[in-house]
Amino acid sequence: MEANSNQNAGGLALEVDGLVKSYGDYRALDGVSMAVRPGRIVGLLGPNGAGKSTLIRIVMGILGADAGQVLVNGAPWTRDALRNVGYLPEERGLYKDMKVGEQAMYFAKLHGMSKQEAVLALRGWFERLEVDGWWDKKVEDLSKGMAQKVQFICAVVHQPKVLILDEPLSGFDPVNARRIVEEIRRLAASGTAVLLSTHDMSRVEALCDEVLLLNKGKIVMAGESEALRESGWHGEYAVTYCGSDVAFARGLGASSILGDVDRPDDPSEAPTRAERTALITLRSGFKLSDTLAGVADAVDIVEVRKLRPTMQELFIQAVSTENTESNA
Ligand code: ADP
């Protein structure tokens, strides 16, 4: 989702340029460059040990880099700029003996909010994420999910211009994970640049505008999720139809290569009415609409789907290609 330019006015773009970081002899980041523009949600993906946390810690100024730099709107990142940043670390933790409201106020003030601003913003967030009855309760009495929500609120209460989230959905049940996804999208729509790491591939497509795939300290795939999926598509469609297989194949004629056909397991289903799904690949020079018109004369078409690879499939493909090449 591209936020409009008015909302982006005053937004911050985060860039890293040529980051290198070694732990002893091990190079955890090997020349990583990337950018997150205002209003965009960029997913940092990669297998365990790829270097995601190292990258995030360098961006947050917790770790120093051996080479390369972190830039905000083209200028080197300073400690002052951290006031405009929200950060949800992977290791979660709230001060257990503090009350929930007290804790949230502490984080809000840390980010430069006045008491009045903080109370107003926090009341709104608490209501929206349904933790409003918890203001005066002790942190130690919160369930894990509630504590996660409070921590998320602490990271975003000051409406950060750059938001860094390390595994933001871990620990949430599906319903609350969806709420958090909605809130991340809302922040991006208001112009926040969001960088998040996740290994939850099933959510990447719904959540991220762009992805960066890190493997062994290097970026091996980067781009808009939709464009990456489109470029990994090899012309396959899944066509679900009712009717005879022979008639379907005849209807295709020379237009397509017919792949697997899924038939219902239950033989008691009427052989001519049961739905089947065939994979077809159009031959060059043939149009889908003409092909479907030919097939529709022979069988009833129920559904046609373009079979683009999922982000998970692209991820596995890119990591295994890279690993094979580096082993060779
Ligand atoms: P990810 O977050 O993608 O799982 P990390 O950035 O945590 O990856 O780690 C990248 C690599 O660097 C891993 O091989 C890890 O073992 C190593 N590493 C991370 N932190 C340290 C450290 N403090 N000392 C030594 N090696 C480390």
Domain ranges of the chain: 5-230, 234-306
User: What are the distances in angstroms from CA 275 to CA 188, 236, 249, 321?
Assistant: 42, 19, 15, 37
Residue with CA nearest ligand 1 atom 27: 23
Provide mean pLDDT across the span 264-293.
79
Sorted by sequence, the CB contacts under 8 Å of residue 24 that are 6+ apart come out as none
Using most ligand atoms within 8 A of CB, pick from 30, 53, 195, 216 the residue to mutate for ligand 1.
53
For residue 7, pLDDT over 70 is answered with no
- What pTM was estimated for this model as a whole? 0.84
Q: Helix, strand or coil for residue 202? A: helix
Q: What is the position in ligand 1's atom list of the atom closest to the CA of 53?
A: 2
Provide mean pLDDT across the span 59-79.
91
**Backbone angles phi and psi of 268, in degrees to 5:** -75, -15
For ligand 1, whether the C-beta of 213 sits within 6 Å is no
pLDDT digits (tens, 9 = 90+) for 208-252: 999 999 999 999 999 998 899 999 898 899 999 998 889 999 999
Q: What is the position in ligand 1's atom list of the atom closest to the CA of 90?
A: 2
pLDDT score recorded for residue 6: 41
Q: Helix, strand or coil for residue 221? A: strand
For residue 117, pLDDT over 90 is answered with yes
Band (300; pLDDT cuts 50, 70, 90): very high
For residue 316, pLDDT over 80 is answered with yes
Give the integer Cα–Cα distance in Å for 152 and 165: 9
pLDDT score recorded for residue 15: 96
Q: Give 138's DSSP letter.
A: B
Assign a CATH topology to domain 5-230: Rossmann fold (3.40.50)
**Architecture per CATH, 234-306:** 2-Layer Sandwich (3.30)
Sorted by sequence, the CB contacts under 8 Å of residue 185 that are 6+ apart come out as 1, 41, 207
**Backbone angles phi and psi of 302, in degrees to 5:** -100, -40
For residue 265, pLDDT over 70 is answered with no
Averaged pLDDT of the chain: 88
Q: Which residues pair with 236 in a beta bridge?
A: 281
Amino acid code (one letter) for 175:
V
pLDDT score recorded for residue 266: 61
Give the integer Cα–Cα distance in Å for 254 and 250: 9
Provide mean pLDDT across the span 279-285.
91
Judge whether 5-230 and 234-306 match in fold: no
Ligand 1 mean position, distance from CA 22 (Å):
9
For ligand 1, whether the C-beta of 48 sits within 6 Å is yes
The percent of the chain in helix, strand and coil, each rounded to the nearest 5, is 40, 30, 35
Among the listed residues 60, 61, 62, 67, the one whose alpha carbon sits nearest the alpha carbon of residue 27: 67
For residue 272, pLDDT over 60 is answered with no
